Structure 1
Amino acid sequence: MIRALVLFAAVPLAACRDQGSVLDNAGDVPPAEMVTAPIQDWGMLRHAIGRTPADSGVLTKGPIVTDLNALLGPDAIAYRALIEQRGGPLARAGDMLVTVTPGGDHAGYLVVDPAQLALEAGFRRNGAWVVKRTHSSDIVRPPAVEALLKD
């Protein structure tokens, strides 16, 4: 009977053998302190209007960093790199702020609603759009984002 238990315990472990370590991508997850911080004044984002995300630092040291990391989870690092490398200048679209990349396989966008403290982040992965939005927000996508999503 003990041999049977040992055999049943060993079979699932053997099935997991060449699947890689669970911690192989642990470096891709933002540090905990970057996803749990006090709410900051998003009104200061107006100083980033007309500047690219890379130039303004809005994705690395601005007031939305913690919320963006929490929203995107393990996708945050790759998303920030995409938007910093390819994102256009932050522009006002009504009450929203938006940056979009050129279209194609490596497209992405960010919509910020400072009044709601809400974000919508979108990026293409394997030819399909991945869109993440602050829970319970009612962000209206600006025309530039709608056009990018149709690309």
Structure 2
Amino acid sequence: MRTAILVLLAASAAACSGNEKVADNAVMPALDVASETPGDWSGLVEMVGRRPSESGLIESSAISVDLNALLGPDAGAFRDAMMRAGPLARDGDLLVARAPDAWLVLDPADHAFRAALRQGGSVREWQTPGAEVPPAGG
């Protein structure tokens, strides 16, 4: 029995001994795939006071998969615009981030959001289907 355990430990160590970084295997979520179940949005509150460019709000938080799926081909432009956003702020029960050409309103209790992007003089908006998230105010 002891020999079997030692063999398993040796095999495990050999499999993990490479110099590769796990992060090298990370990929952005597909643009057309929404999450089947909402992620844990409780961590979004910890991002209040931090810019999306610092916190990973747009790129790697619990909203990223659904945001990419809803915005589709505009997700990249939205992500770029939001990198110039000010800190995430509370507005009652909502969380709001504003950039010169984009904004994002999050309703963590309902796992819903509303986003907008200004391009070429027009504003395009997206919202979680079935949700009633207000637009970002003034």
Q: TM-score, normalised by structure 2?
A: 0.73
For the residue of structure 2 that corresponds to 1:63, the secondary structure is coil
Matches within 5 A, 1:123-142: 123-141=117-135
* Shift in CA distance, 31/60, structure 1 to aligned 2, threshold 3 Å: closer
User: Over the residues paired in the alignment, what is the CA RMSD in angstroms?
Assistant: 1.8
For the residue of structure 2 that corresponds to 1:60, the secondary structure is helix
Task: Look up the match of 2:91.
Answer: 93
Matches within 5 A, 1:78-117: 78-84=77-83, 86-102=84-100, 107-117=101-111
Q: Distance in 1 between matches of 2:43 and 2:32?
A: 19
Shift in Å, 1:119? 1.0
Report the AA paired with residue 78 of structure 2. Answer: Y
For structure 1, list consecutive stretches of 5 or more residues without a partner in the other structure: 1-29
Task: Look up the match of 2:12.
Answer: none
Which aligned runs of 4 or more in structure 1 are off by greater than 2 angstroms? 30-39
Matches within 5 A, 1:1-151: 31-32=29-30, 35-37=33-35, 38-84=37-83, 86-102=84-100, 107-141=101-135, 145-147=136-138
Q: Distance in 2 between matches of 1:31 and 1:42?
A: 17
Q: Distance in 2 between matches of 1:36 and 1:135?
A: 11
Identity of aligned residues (%): 41
Report the AA paired with residue 65 of structure 2. Answer: T
